[in-house]
Structure 1
Amino acid sequence: MGILSRASYVIRSKVNAVLNRSEDPTETLDYSYEQLRDELQDVKQGIADLTTQKKRLEIQKRRLEENVEKHNDQARQAVKQDRDDLARQALEKKKQKMSQIEELEGQISQLQSQQDQLVEQKDELQRQIEQFRTKKETMKARHEAAKASVRVNEAMTGAGDEMEDVSRAIERAEERTEDMEARSQAMDELREDGALETQLDDRSQLDRELEAVQQDGQVDAELDTLKAEMGEERVDDAETSEDGDEEALGAELDDDAISEVDDSEVEAELDELKEEKK
């Protein structure tokens, strides 16, 4: 085998492999069924053509038979008129026509045999087509059932191309959603930091910073006012506390005086007891 022959063989093999993978059995069966129907139609057309040819020969035969009768009558009339020469000519034409009739009968018989054979072939082909149609429908039903089962199993297991496409679509949707969430968070962060200006805010960055400083100043002033108020309250509390301390101190001194008096009395009573003992 030469190089070109081997290359051609490899190419045909690959083409056949691709066709086998892409071939739909139901379409192949339908195509084969239509081919058989076309062949049956050709057989019927052949039978019709052959029958037409046979009918033409039969018509030609009837005309020759009529001529035979005519020449026979002519010969009889010529004999009655003692014209043997004319009778002989009529009989010779009669013989020629009869010879032609024999040839036509042979052709007609042959055409009839062919017609009978074609009719038998047509009937057999029609029976085969009916059987093939039944098998075809059965095979198509089995194929559709098997294909449906495969689709269901692929859908349940996720092994089909459609489920793979769905998985990819989900992955792409998740990626786009994550990107959108990250972008949203980034925009919120930039907006909070003041890095982005909103479309509805016609103030400049300088105006916003000055307003922020002004707000901070107002807050500081309010805080100072609050501290001042709290300081006055603390002074009043301190004065009140000092007055209370003085009163408490006086009370303590009085208590000390009372305690001193009581001690002298105790000493006096003790001395008296000592004298009585002596």
Structure 2
Amino acid sequence: MALIDRIEDLIKAEFNALLDKADDPEKNQRQILTQLEAALTECRSTVVQVICEQKALVRREQTVNKKVEQWQQQAEYALQKDREDLARAALMEKQACQQALQHIEEEATQLQQVHDKLAQDARSLSEKIHQLRQKEAQLARREHTATTQLKARSVASQQSIAAALTRFEHLERKVERVEAEVDSYDLVSKEQAQWQALETLAREEQVDKALAELKQRNQPA
């Protein structure tokens, strides 16, 4: 059968080698998977047809067997009635039916062989499909893992930059705080110097006033 030959070619094909040589392994795998699933569907459909033919053949066999019995009975009845000519004719019909039974048995044997072969091919195709499904899932996991790693590393890189900027901003704020403290010390020192000068001036003024009063008291009358 052409179907069996085509399925044999699919089963014998080295799919791993085909995938390795393909420009786009994922696309090629989907195409191969589609072919396998189509072949499996056709194989199972043909198995159903073969089973229907086997059942029809069994019914034909039963019918022909009944005819064999009937022609045997007719031959015996004709002999009882001394009609050897009718008995001979009945036996010839019986012989034709027996030959038909041989053809039916041969056809049944061929159908059984086809059925067994198709059933075996269906199992092989199912196994191939399962293997490719696993490979498809493996590729999907690898792609997901690679994408996740790429995103993680990209985010990590961005976080490193952000962390560096944060450290620089922190250092800048620290420097600004130190500079502000220095400025505050300078301001305090200037204010203290001004207050001290004013206090000194006030004390000198008081001393001058006290000296003038002393001189005025010590003048002769």
TM-score bin (small chain): 0.5 to 0.7
- Which is worse superposed, 72-81 or 142-151? 142-151
Distance in 2 (CA, whole Å) between partners of 1:102 and 1:46 is 25
Deviations along 1:197-243, whole A, 9 cap, x unmatched?
Answer: xxxxxxxxxxxxxxxxxxxxxxxxxxxxxxxxxxxxxxxxxxxxxxx
The verdict on how the C-alpha distance between 1:61 and 1:79 changes in structure 2, with shifts beyond 3 A counting, is: same
Provide the rounded CA distance (Å) in 1 between the counterparts of 2:114 and 2:107. 11
The Cα shift of 1:156 comes to 5.8
- Structure 1 segments of 4 or more deviating over 6 A? none
Q: Distance in 1 between matches of 2:81 and 2:51?
A: 45
Q: Which amino acid aligns with 2:101?
A: I
1:46 aligns with 2:63: no
Shift of residue 68 of structure 1? 0.5
Q: TM-score, normalised by structure 2?
A: 0.55
Query: Aligned partners of 1:35, 1:148: CA distance in 2, in Å?
Result: 32
Q: Give the structure 1 partner of residue 149 of structure 2.
A: 149
Change (3 A) 1:36 1:87: same
Quote the Cα distance in structure 2 between the aligned partners of 1:30 and 1:148: 24
Task: Name the structure 1 match of 2:3.
Answer: none
1:64 aligns with 2:64: yes
Number of residues paired by the alignment?
Answer: 137
Structure 1 residue 54: deviation in Å?
A: 2.1
Counterpart of 2:42 in structure 1: which amino acid? D
Matching residue of 2:131: 131
5+ residue gaps, structure 2 = 1-22, 159-221
- What is the identity percentage for the equivalent residue pairs of Structure 1 and Structure 2? 24
Cα deviation, 1:28-69, whole Å, max 9, x if unaligned, reads: 655543442232111111111112122222211211111001
Tell me the SS of whatever aligns to 2:125.
Answer: helix
* Change over 3 Å in CA distance of 1:127–1:114 after alignment to 2: same
**Closer/same/farther in 2, CA of residues 119 and 96 from structure 1, 3 Å limit:** same
What amino acid does structure 2 have at the position aligned with 1:129? I
Q: What is the SS of the residue equivalent to 2:82?
A: coil
Name stretches of at least 5 consecutive residues in structure 1 with no aligned partner: 1-19, 159-278
How far apart are residue 121 of structure 1 and its match?
1.0
Whether 1:105 and 2:105 are equivalent positions in the alignment is yes
Give the AA of the match of 2:132: F
Partners of 1:24 and 1:154 in 2: how far apart? Answer: 27
CA deviation vs aligned residue, 1:147-183 (integer Å, no higher than 9, x gap): 232344456668xxxxxxxxxxxxxxxxxxxxxxxxx
Work out the CA distance in 2 between the residues paired with 1:28 and 1:108: 40
Taking structure 1 as reference, are residues 81 and 106 closer, same or farther at Cα in structure 2, changes over 3 Å only? same
Distance 2:67 2:149 in 1: 77
SS in 2 for 1:82: coil
Q: Distance in 2 between matches of 1:146 and 1:116?
A: 45
Task: Give the distance between the partners of 1:54 and 1:47, measured in 2 at CA.
Answer: 10
- The residue type equivalent to 1:63 in the other structure is T
Q: Residues 32 and 144 from structure 1, CA distance in 2 versus in 1: closer, same or farther, beyond 3 angstroms?
A: farther
- Given the superposition, is the C-alpha separation of residues 29 and 156 from structure 1 closer, same or farther in structure 2, using an over 3 Å criterion? farther
Q: Which residue of 2 aligns with 1:189?
A: none
Answer whether contact 2:29 2:132 (CA < 8 A) is retained.
no
Q: How does 1:56-95 map to 2 (within 5 A)?
A: 56-95=56-95
Larger Rg belongs to: 1
Query: What amino acid does structure 1 have at the position aligned with 2:130?
Result: E
Counterpart of 1:172 in structure 2 is none
In structure 2, the partner of 1:114 is: 114
- Give the alignment's TM-score, normalised by structure 1: 0.44
- Which amino acid in 2 is paired with 1:88? R
**What is the Cα-based RMSD across aligned positions, in Å?**
2.5
User: Residue 148 and residue 30 in structure 1: after superposition, are their counterparts in 2 closer, same or farther (change >3 A)?
Assistant: farther
